[in-house]
Amino acid sequence: MHYGIAAIVLCIVVLASAGVFYFYNNKQAGEEYQKQTSAQGEQTTEKTTPTLQELSLEITQVKLCKFIDDSYNCDEIQNGLFNRGEAVYILADVVNIKQIRQDKGWLIGVKSSIKTLDPRHKIVLSLTGTVSDSADYLREEIKLLHLKNRLQTTKEFMPGKYTSTIIVYDKLSKKSVSREVAFELR
């Protein structure tokens, strides 16, 4: 069996489809980021909800799903059992992201990565993506950020227990948090 080829195929499929990160509230792109960073005088005030900023960045839940739709409805697989060749969807909910209120809206900056190990503890997937850059502005303050990942397995994957680690980094607060989720391929 060629696990290396399967891992490459997996990475290509995941790079093409995973990292589809969505915000609970609508996102408004900050197209003037270049101007903003070169101009020194923009007024920035941190008018966030004090209790939200005092809390730590947290991944509140992680679900294994057969599918996740655009509204984040998850066809959850409670026992974590998947067949080789099936897609494994992972939905993670993140709270307490630092947000800064500016004239254009709420400024945020979040990066996410996922690493999946096979039963032999070899990496079969390692992917980092930017959920939002420091150039991203939201119209409203967000309370909950959904991260949706898709891991396409193949028949060549070894049966057994796989472990995925999700890491979220908040660039504004300079805090990170991680969470593991295990699933089994049969």
Tokens of 54: 């005092």
In terms of Cβ atoms closer than 10 Å to its own Cβ (0-12, 13-18, 19+), residue 54 is: exposed
Tokens of 59: 């991944």
Express each pLDDT in 131-147 by its tens digit.
Answer: 766 556 777 888 899 99
Express each pLDDT in 56-92 by its tens digit.
Answer: 999 999 999 999 999 999 999 999 999 999 999 999 9
pTM for the model: 0.68
End-to-end, the C-alpha distance of the chain in Å comes to: 16
Contacts of 166 (CB under 8 A, 6+ apart): 59, 62, 90, 92, 112, 113, 114, 147, 149, 178, 179, 180, 181
- Helical segments of 18-95, H only: 33-38, 50-54
Query: How far are the Cα atoms of 4, 52, 122, 148, 186 from residue 177, in angstroms, in the given order?
Result: 29, 16, 22, 16, 30
Domains, the chain, with CATH or none = 3-36+44-185 (2.60.40.3880)
Higher pLDDT, 59 or 37: 59
d(CA 41, CA 26): 27
d(CA 118, CA 6): 12
Higher pLDDT, 107 or 88: 88
